[in-house]
Chains A and B, each alone.
Chain A
Amino acid sequence: MNPIIKLNKLNKSYKNEFIKTLALQDIDLEVYPGEFISIMGPSGCGKSTLMSVLGLLDNFDSGKYLLSGLEATDLSLDQRAKIRNKHIGFVFQSFNLIDSLTVADNIAMPLQYQGQKAKEIAQKVENVLAQVNLSSRSKHFPAQLSGGQQQRVAIARAIVTNPDILLVDEPTGNLDSKNGDQVMRLLVQLNKQGSTIIMVTHDTRYSQCASKQVQLIDGKIVMENNVKETEVMHEAS
């Protein structure tokens, strides 16, 4: 089986007027279909940078990045956008929903950029809303939802295009434990259904939900572990 993502000797640095910071050094990583990978590490170790590069939100200085067989070097902004739209779903810590759009419109957005017809979009939106148990909230605005609900909407938006991979950045960071558990259960469920997930988290409990743990320190991968499947926290009543 071929990996969905393959990083080979990937390097990324940030330069300002005074210093050059090596954010990622010689990263080698392979992600296979159906894997659930958690990335952990202390603050400033390069987790977010790695997610940005994986999500084609940022460039890298050297090395190779293959995504679903596509060479991701020297891509233009528009090319990246198209690849993201087709292959990648994003879930952010701060949800990043558009406040002026309803829940349904937020979820429909990536489908609109694919040029799909309104009827098809509506159907798909309805399906994913059911998947995340928010069918009754389709006409609400993000400001009218709780944090947990907003994050579930974000997850719905991320999976509506059926992407090859989900990039999940601290999904429970802004949530209480009850909502956090709910979100993690959803992610686990999605993974069981076949979604490939790469998740950044500080929370060791949630990192146990993953099938593989990757440890980053100072921009380098220092550890890769396969994790036994563990049970998620009990469902809240």
Chain B
Amino acid sequence: MKPVNYFLFSGLKKLFNQKRFTLPILLSLSITIGLLIGALVIANNNALKPLSGVSKAQNISSVVIDLNMTDTLSFETMTSRADFGQFMRHFDAREQAFVFEKQQSLPQFNGESLDSYVFKAHFAALDIMGTKTIKGSALNERNFESGVWISESLYEKQRQAGNDLLGKTITIGPSAQLVVGIIEDIALPRKLTLASTDTSSNIVNLAVPQVWIFEDFSKIPDSSTDGQMASELSYLYIDTTKVTIPNREDFFKWYLTTVDDSQKMMYEVFLKKPDSNLELSAYREDVMPGAKKMSLFLLLSASLLALIAIVNVTNLFNAYYTARFNEFSVRLIHGARKSVLRRQLMLENTPLMVFSILLAVIIANLFIAFLPLLSLTSLSRNGTMEIDALAITAIIAITLLAFYIGIYLSLSRIKEKALQGYIQSSGKGVSMDYQNPLTKTLVSTQLALTIVFSFAGLAIAYKNYNIAFSDMGYQVEHIHNLELKTDDSDWADSFNKEEQAFYGSDAHQLTSSIVEVIEQSALKVSVISQDYGVLANIYKFYTQLVTKEDGSTQMLSYSPLHLQPGYLEQAGINIIAGKSITTEQYQQNEKVAVVTKNLADAVYPKLSYADIIGKPVNKDSSSIIIGIAENFRRHPSSMSRESAYIFRPDIHITDTLRFTLKTQNGAELNDLLESDLLLSKIQVRHPQIKSLSFKSYQDHVNAATMQQRIIFYTSLILVTFTLLLAVVGISGLTILTTKQKSYELAIRMTQGATRLDLVSLMLKRAVIMLVAGVAVGSVITLWVYDYINLNFNAELPAFNWVALMALILMSSVIYLLSVMLPTWNIVAQNPLSALRRD
């Protein structure tokens, strides 16, 4: 038989006949390479693949001032329309900066709704982003007011339905607009695209169907009264290659000149604080927040895992081929070179490689499909994310490399000058010995990597668990925000009368009327607050100089929330002193308040909580504290940012009315509300209300903790895989070598060794490597932990020696069991049969 056929056929037989060798290799390599390639594809999608319609994304950054107002509160500014106009004029950035603004109105064509969104943008946006014009007029400074541009996906969809929109007129709200050009779909910042979540697939499309209106934002006057509409506006984006931002101090000095006189003092205080920052953040980060960090994490983890697998595989190859040194020696004696042997062994392993590759492809696909499920909310995806030809090539290349490394290192142990020694054996072949340096190094390396990786993985999992799952301080399940919007600001403002108490006022009548409609429409729903609650996408705060009990003053920031009877109890907020407002107090508009613990501590640091009850909120306030509530977190990631809150029985009506609902156990709000029907019922009483939307607290938390949850679950899975790899590798190696050693074991048994003697022999050899691996692993763990914390700002928990010891203990037990159990199994099968001659 030709050598090629011999080796291929031999390899095919070995695949099924020598599962002790092939199965651990198949499992180790296919799982880890599959995970690695899956992670690579995800990382490429998240971090590298060009964003649709934004070919110059790498040049674009957002400009944000992050004011750290107190230890517990920070605020981002530079998000108002006036900010943009002032920035563009001051920095002469009319053609180097842009901003997006999502419009409320939805576009229509011939009376039919176009399933898309309308955005307004500064006219220079397309040029700065590098967006291509597909058809029609290219946007420029002279023609940006001539009509609208629509995105390619919208155009194609309509064209297939028989409507070629180019040159046609569409209506947006009350106005008619001519479609003058077709442009690429643009990948937009996440907060502008959230409404497009396709919950059935759990994927957020970065580039939703778009209609674009352009204007010159640089002409927005300084005195524009448009407030911050954070959810509709993106950040200000600049081309960093063309706009030079001055240093922090000069920038803040300039920014102060743009602030309203009434707020100048407050801003001056905060801008002078050393930890207030000027943040420049890449456009890509706004489009896929946290994606880069998560991708890096996945990639690093999968790479380490693959490294452990390659060590495993090399060890197994080493063990397996040592038993064939006799055969290889004979081949070498008869003229083969080592390079020829390596080629022949690669050929022999081809069937195993093919199976490994196929399995790796399946696992990579499963990983990519499985990841969004971990997020529990929408996961951004930049176009398609799949195992393509490039990914498969990578799988093949890494598999080939892993096999080659294993074969190369194994054969490197054959000393060609001492071939006689291999064939002058006692006749039963040379068995693999733990004493050889390669094995010792590989086993110790594997153990060290297992400890390092497991510890880091557990630390990361712990940190993210604390953010994603720990108690917020209030109930999250079954609680929802309901928003009703009006476009009639005057109507909304008419309900706010100066100095008028809330209960019984027009504002109260308005909110109570809506509550009545809601509760009549959905019997299993109760409105627990006639305003937004502790978790909403609006966040008001006040900052004022307060006089404390001892007469000293302090700049205090706090958020006001509406207090009505039963709210705190229903929201699951714990009252630690005093009580919440009673119905009587509410109806009599008593000036009372419940404050959170941190505010009480700040104003009355020397009093007990019981003594604070009955005191004013602060010396300058007329509201009396009747209860103190436990601190809670507004945002899951704000571990230490426990803002101070004051619950007061008043509401300021704006053009968005907000209510907090609670459903009974098991009831789904979607089914209960039937939002179109509810809206029309509300509109019967209040036709000024134009739209209704709702979102559960759970969705808020899921969206806010998506990254943390993915990292938590992925960390645990990867740590489990690491330990599993260690078990597969060590036990696989032990089974292989012990089986080879059964001849030696038999000899020892003839000389009187008991089974315990034999197991002890194997264990003794294994312990030496365990000690080396643990020592090296511990040192590297310490170093890596410090390095990551210092250089990546990972904010990992404090190094925990107890945890490290526990991990070392667990790894040691796993390792020793992986050695002992296979050894005992083989020894119990009576290796003396190895001595029996036929």
Contacts and interface: CB of A to CB of B under 8 A. Distances in A.
Contacts of B426: 94-99, 142, 150
Interface string A30-60: 0000000000000000001000100101100
A113 B835 contact: no
Contact of A57 (B428, B744, B756, B835): B835
A84 interface: yes
B672 interface: no
Q: What is the predominant secondary structure among interface residues of chain A facing chain B?
A: helix
B430 interface: yes
Given A58-B832, A142-B425, A109 B748 contact: yes
Contact of B835 (A85, A96, A110, A161): A96
A110 B435 contact: no
17 contacts: A57-B836, A77-B754, A77-B828, A78-B756, A82-B752, A84-B752, A86-B752, A90-B751, A92-B835, A95-B426, A98-B426, A99-B425, A99-B426, A99-B430, A113-B751, A142-B425, A161-B752
Interface string B418-431: 00110011111011
Given A48-B837, A81-B754, A109-B748, 9 more contacts: A77-B754, A82-B754, A85-B752, A85-B753, A96-B747, A98-B426, A100-B430, A100-B431, A113-B751
A143 interface: yes
Contacts of A109: 748, 751, 753
Nearest to B752: A85
A143 B754 contact: no
Interface in B394-447: 420-421, 424-428, 430-431, 433, 435
Interface residues of B, number: 29
B749 interface: yes
Interface residues of A, number: 31
Given A57-B832, A98-B744, A99-B430, A143 B752 contact: no
A77 B745 CA distance: 13
Contacts of A150: 426
B757 interface: yes
Nearest to B753: A113
A176 to B, nearest CB: 15
Contact of A143 (B421, B747, B751, B837): B421
Nearest to B433: A100
B324 interface: no
B140 interface: no
A90 B749 CA distance: 11
A55 B427 contact: no
Contacts of A94: 426-428
Interface in B739-777: 744, 747-757
A90 to B, nearest CB: 5
A96 B835 CA distance: 9
Contacts of B421: 143-144
Contacts of B199: none
A90 B431 CA distance: 21
Interface string A181-205: 0000000000000000000000000
B433 to A, nearest CB: 5
Interface in A11-42: none
B619 to A, nearest CB: 86
A93 to B, nearest CB: 8
A235 B428 CA distance: 31
Interface string B812-838: 000000000000000010101001110
Interface string A142-158: 11100000100000010
B751 A157 contact: yes
B424 A110 contact: no
A92 B747 CA distance: 10
Contacts of A48: 836-837
Nearest to A146: B424
Contacts of B435: 100
Contacts of A144: 421
Report which residue of B424, B426, B751, B830 has the largest number of chain A beta carbons within 10 angstroms of its beta carbon.
B751
Closest 4 CB pairs of A and B: A85-B752, A110-B751, A113-B752, A78-B754
A62 interface: no
Contacts of B752: 81-82, 84-86, 110, 113-114, 161
Interface string A220-233: 00000000000000
Contacts of A143: 420-421, 424-425
B750 A90 contact: yes
Contacts of B836: 48, 52, 57-58
Interface string A108-131: 011001100000000000000000
Contacts of B433: 100
B83 to A, nearest CB: 78
B749 A81 contact: yes
A164 B757 CA distance: 23
A92 B746 CA distance: 12
A142 B428 CA distance: 13
Given A52-B836, A81-B749, A113 B425 contact: no
B755 A77 contact: yes
A34 B420 CA distance: 41
Contacts of B750: 55, 57, 84, 90, 96
Interface string B718-757: 0000000000000000000000000010011111111111
Contacts of B424: 143
Contacts of A100: 430-431, 433, 435, 744
Nearest to A83: B752
Contacts of B431: 99-100
A99 B432 CA distance: 11
